Amino acid sequence: MVSINQFIVNALSEKISALQTLDILEKSAKRAYREAFTEALSRVPDVDAPKNDTL
C-alpha cells in the first residue's frame, strides 16, 4: 500500500522531471538550424520502410 506522502512525492518528482525535460528540449531547439535539419533530411533515401519496420 502506498501512503499519501509517497504518492505526493512521486507525483511531484514526475512533474519536476517533465518540466526539466521540457526545458532541455526548448534549449536544444533554440540551438537548432532549420537549414541544417532540412539538408540532413534531404540525404535520407525516399524508400518504403521494410515490412518488419512498420506500424
Q: How far is CA 11 from the centre of its chain?
A: 20
Q: What is the pLDDT of residue 2?
A: 81
* Confidence tier at 55 by pLDDT (50, 70, 90): confident
Give tens-digit pLDDT for 1-54: 889 999 999 999 999 999 999 999 999 999 999 999 999 999 999 999 999 998
pLDDT of residue 1: 80
Measured CA to CA, the distance from residue 52 to residue 55 in angstroms comes to: 9
pLDDT for res 29: 93
Output the pLDDT for position 3.
95
Structural domain boundaries of the chain?
4-43
